[in-house]
Chains A and B, each alone.
Chain A
Amino acid sequence: MIAGRLLKISDRGVLVTLAVILIIAILVPVLHLLVPPESAFHIPAYAMALIGKYLCYAMLALSLDLIWGYCGILSLGHGAFFALGGYAMGMYLMRQIGSRGVYGNAELPDFMVFLNWTELPWYWHGFDSFAFAMFMVLFVPGVLAFLFGFFAFRSRVSGVHLSIITQALTFALMLAFFRNDMGFGGNNGLTDFKDILGFNLQASGTRTALFIATCLALGASLLLCLAITRSRLGVVLTAIRDAESRTRFLGYRVEAFKLFAFTVSACIAGVAGALYVPQVGIINPGEFAPANSIEAVVWTAIGGRGTLFGPILGAVLVNFAKSWFTSALPELWLFALGGLFLAVTLFLPKGLAGLFDRKAAGGRRAVPAAQPEAAE
């Protein structure tokens, strides 16, 4: 039955997206490394980093889609998981600097020397190891999401209330990370990275490798989400999204399913953040800003939630537009984003993906206009 839908339009979208990601993963590095800089086809390092950044955002949007599009959980604080993954990576990169910092202190990162700290805080230990840092990239967002979700879903906080407290969560984290005494660099965050795994971060080879890693991570996340949503678990998630209490009466422990999706989603967001940091070269508390999380929701909605490929499309397109606007017409960007958002919610509830889907026999995963709670 489920195999039977493998060729449904949204799946075709996913397949196409996977193919495009693969092509980009090959083409961009080739154009960057092999085509000489004089050529019109050469992709300079900054452009490759920019595309890499978009792809990280796409992963964040995908992670949101898993819970919002398929399970009806609208997180307005997903940026927090992204940022936490980013900080875990940032901490590793900070340790890699060693004694090459401004103060030349091999034991402590510059900002700690600046604050007259004498000892590395306990939670920084272990981040010298890449493996440990990568574990933390998954672990920290995962555990936070698990704990938060465990309590929230168990007490049946849902809908708008959940959205609001996720927003409060990321806001609280932002305030916390702004504090110098937290030991994460305060205002300035973590930056001035030198190298990763011993390779210079500025080198073309390293940048290309990071780019390819981002493509692979995005593709893998997409496949993971595809596997989840195509399994019976995906059917249960959809059921929960459309009629939560009805699902309960069938004997499904709704909170466990939500918790699973929420935690997986947070881990994907964490990985996205971890790949984002070395490519943009900085992570600071601004990443926790509630507006960032909402913006990620915007990408998801514009692309079309509940389709897996929609959010990826949305994230890339919106961010591309943002880059263009902010350089060409900076004052208009907020008008454009706000207007786009209004237009999409009002006229295109299924997002851009809905445009492709229109002729198809109404994909079941596409979100209905209204979602009445069936079990009254």
Chain B
Amino acid sequence: MLLAVALATMLTIALMVTHAMAADLATEIKSLDTSNFAQKEKAIAAIAATGDARVAAVLTALNDNKLLIRKADRLVVIAEGKGNVKIENAATGEALGEAAEADLDRIAINNKIRRQIKVILGGLTLFSDDPAVRLKAADDLFRSRDLSSLQPLKDALAKEQDPQVRQAMMEALAALTLVSDAPEAEKLAAVLTVKARGDQDAIALLSSVAQGSDAVARAATEALTSLEWARSFWDSLQNAVYGLSLGSVLLLAAIGLAITFGVMGVINMAHGEMVMIGAYVTFLVQEVIRGAAPDLLDQSLFIAVPLAFLVTALIGIAIERSIIRFLYGRPLETLLATWGLSLILQQAIRSLFGPTNREVSTPSWMSGSLELGALTLTANRLAIIVFALLVFVGLLLLLRHSRFGLEMRAVTQNRQMASAMGIHTARVDALTFGLGSGIAGIAGVALSQIDNVSPNLGQSYIIDSFMVVVFGGVGNLWGTLVAALTLGIANKFLEPFAGAVLGKILVLVFIILFIQKRPRGLFALKGRAVEA
């Protein structure tokens, strides 16, 4: 029987290849109107032989039980829907309006016919003019491992020119060989081909072949082991990338805090709200652009970043001048006052913009992804990693090399001395706080791209940010960097084993224990500055 099918296929293909389109599709379709399965088979072969563009549509419909005969005029139609169905002429594709299901007869098919259709359809796609379609057909075949397609595949492979498609077809052939009763040597070679492919499907195939104890099974097992290794390598790499991107989000959220907390010793519980406001600035910028200059939408982030910095920095300075400066030397009170402030800011945003999420669009250049080996890097993750590092480096340079940075460090180390040297400590305080808040605002722009922009946005980052700063060592930007990336990566590596929530708990517990061991964090400063 297999032989018969193969023969029929050969015939079909031969006919197609020569573009013999002598017969008329409509006539051949008409001959489907019979209860004899053998005749139907013949009719199907004939339909395929027409090489008409509608062959695929008709045969697919037949396979899906959607090819029906209108009782009134015995016209073969393709029907869509249930109950009252939309029908079209099967031969021409001309729409014929609606019909009741009761007015239509189904063309019954059996399994043999199904197989026949499948082979023909497979053949059609394997021989399609479009290389993408051929590629997909080969890949589908690799997965389905339908032995009835072995012959057409071989034929297709023989005349394939495109190297990529050729490769896919060879892999599909190897897959079919492995499930066929081919000789051992051929199968062993096939194992290697499949192994070289190395993806999830290859692993699935090899694991199914690896059952048993013959040479092929052994080879498959071997291939599988080495593939598992490669896969866990790529998985780790992928996790590292996810971790890196989570880490840079943490870095962005924490770095402003590292300044206000680390440099000034001020606990700003409203830090998260600065992040949130930054995200809302992004939203507003996009709203305005959408109304005024929709073409600029892709550039909206470039406008949002400086604007968010400005807005939050100003708010920060206002907060410092009106609240924080009265509370220096009383860190716990600062903590509570800024917490009160965070409630007010949250509620203010909620009253202004409503409690629901606001839609912030992602520029086109941030969508899409990059494939690197088995690694997928999405553009927005990459953008955030790069952005976080840029912010970090920028800040580092600012603190190291600018006059302001110098004054800031002077004030941190010895307030009296700095003020005696003519530094306006009050101004430095305000600006430092403004800087920390401004950076939080920038972080908000970035987070608006990956998180929901809602009044609660900041809340979800505040504890993590504190953890990062404390873990990294207060007053040390490098510590913040290392801590953020470490925690991000640790989180992502724990996730597969422990699940997201438990992973997070483990990380928290780890930090709590770590702080016991090293109360000053990873990179502790020694000396008077920290004791004060």
On A, residues with C-beta under 8 Å from B are 68, 74, 76, 148, 151-152, 154-157, 159-161, 163-165, 167-169, 171-172, 175-176, 178-179, 290-291, 294, 297-298, 301, 331, 334-335, 337-342, 345-346, 349, 369-372
In the A-B complex, the 4 residue pairs with the smallest Cβ-Cβ separation, listed nearest first, are A341-B340, A338-B343, A338-B344, A334-B347
B519 adjacent to A337 (CB under 8 Å)? no
Supposing A338-B347, A372-B329 touch, asked if A175 and B504 sit within 8 A by C-beta, the answer is: yes
CB-CB under 8 A from A172, the residues of chain B are 504-505, 508-509, 512
Q: How far, in angstroms, from A119 to B350 measured CA to CA in the complex? A: 46
Supposing A168-B508, A331-B347 touch, asked if A163 and B340 sit within 8 A by C-beta, the answer is: no
Q: Which residue of A lies closest to B340 (CB)?
A: A341
Contact partner, A337, options B327, B343, B512, Cβ 8 Å: B343
Contact partner, B347, options A335, A369, A370, Cβ 8 Å: A335
Supposing A151-B516, A179-B501, A345-B327 touch, asked if A290 and B463 sit within 8 A by C-beta, the answer is: yes
A298 adjacent to B463 (CB under 8 Å)? no
5 extra A-B contacts, CB within 8 A, seeds A176-B505, A342-B340: A161-B474, A161-B515, A168-B512, A175-B501, A294-B336
Question: Could you say which of B269, B327, B329, B333 has the most chain A C-beta atoms within 10 Å of its C-beta?
Answer: B333
Q: How far, in angstroms, from A143 to B502 measured CA to CA in the complex? A: 22
The binding surface of chain B is classed by DSSP as helix
B331 adjacent to A171 (CB under 8 Å)? no
Interface residues of B in 335-376 (CB under 8 A from A): 335-337, 339-344, 346-348, 350-351
B326 at interface, CB cutoff 8 A: yes
Measured between C-beta atoms, what is the minimum distance from B467 to chain A in Å? 6
Q: Which residue of A lies closest to B517 (CB)?
A: A155
Interface residues of B in 296-352 (CB under 8 A from A): 323, 326-327, 329-333, 335-337, 339-344, 346-348, 350-351
B515 adjacent to A157 (CB under 8 Å)? yes
Contact partner, B340, options A165, A169, A337, Cβ 8 Å: A337
Measured between C-beta atoms, what is the minimum distance from A197 to chain B in Å? 35
B142 at interface, CB cutoff 8 A: no
Contact partner, B326, options A294, A346, A372, Cβ 8 Å: A346
B343 adjacent to A163 (CB under 8 Å)? no
Q: How far, in angstroms, from A297 to B339 measured CA to CA in the complex? A: 11
Contact partner, B470, options A165, A298, A337, A371, Cβ 8 Å: A165
B344 adjacent to A334 (CB under 8 Å)? yes
CB-CB under 8 A from B323, the residues of chain A are 342, 346
Measured between C-beta atoms, what is the minimum distance from A150 to chain B in Å? 9
A157 adjacent to B516 (CB under 8 Å)? yes
On B, residues with C-beta under 8 Å from A are 261, 267, 269, 323, 326-327, 329-333, 335-337, 339-344, 346-348, 350-351, 459, 463, 466-467, 470, 474, 501-502, 504-505, 508-509, 511-513, 515-517, 519
Measured between C-beta atoms, what is the minimum distance from A171 to chain B in Å? 5
Supposing A161-B519, A163-B332 touch, asked if A334 and B343 sit within 8 A by C-beta, the answer is: yes
CB-CB under 8 A from B508, the residues of chain A are 168-169, 171-172, 175
Measured between C-beta atoms, what is the minimum distance from B480 to chain A in Å? 14
Q: Which residue of A lies closest to B328 (CB)?
A: A370
CB-CB under 8 A from A294, the residues of chain B are 269, 336, 339
CB-CB under 8 A from A291, the residues of chain B are 459
Measured between C-beta atoms, what is the minimum distance from B47 to chain A in Å? 53
Q: How far, in angstroms, from A325 to B259 measured CA to CA in the complex? A: 37
Q: Which residue of A lies closest to B459 (CB)?
A: A291
Supposing A164-B470, A168-B511, A345-B333 touch, asked if A338 and B342 sit within 8 A by C-beta, the answer is: yes
Measured between C-beta atoms, what is the minimum distance from A328 to chain B in Å? 16
CB-CB under 8 A from B516, the residues of chain A are 151-152, 154-155, 157
CB-CB under 8 A from B269, the residues of chain A are 294
CB-CB under 8 A from A331, the residues of chain B are 347, 350-351
Q: How far, in angstroms, from A168 to B508 measured CA to CA in the complex? A: 6
Q: How far, in angstroms, from A74 to B269 measured CA to CA in the complex? A: 15
**Can you identify 20 A-B contacts, CB atoms within 8 angstroms?**
A74-B335, A154-B516, A155-B515, A155-B519, A157-B515, A157-B519, A160-B267, A160-B335, A163-B267, A163-B335, A165-B512, A172-B512, A294-B336, A334-B344, A338-B347, A339-B344, A341-B340, A342-B337, A345-B336, A346-B337
Supposing A159-B331, A168-B512 touch, asked if A338 and B340 sit within 8 A by C-beta, the answer is: yes
Q: How far, in angstroms, from A371 to B466 measured CA to CA in the complex? A: 24
A342 adjacent to B341 (CB under 8 Å)? yes
Measured between C-beta atoms, what is the minimum distance from B208 to chain A in Å? 31
CB-CB under 8 A from B505, the residues of chain A are 172, 175-176
Supposing A152-B516, A167-B463, A331-B351 touch, asked if A345 and B340 sit within 8 A by C-beta, the answer is: yes
Supposing A176-B505, A178-B501 touch, asked if A341 and B332 sit within 8 A by C-beta, the answer is: no
Q: How far, in angstroms, from A301 to B346 measured CA to CA in the complex? A: 22
B509 adjacent to A301 (CB under 8 Å)? no
A74 adjacent to B344 (CB under 8 Å)? no
Measured between C-beta atoms, what is the minimum distance from A251 to chain B in Å? 22
Q: Which residue of B lies closest to A156 (CB)?
A: B519
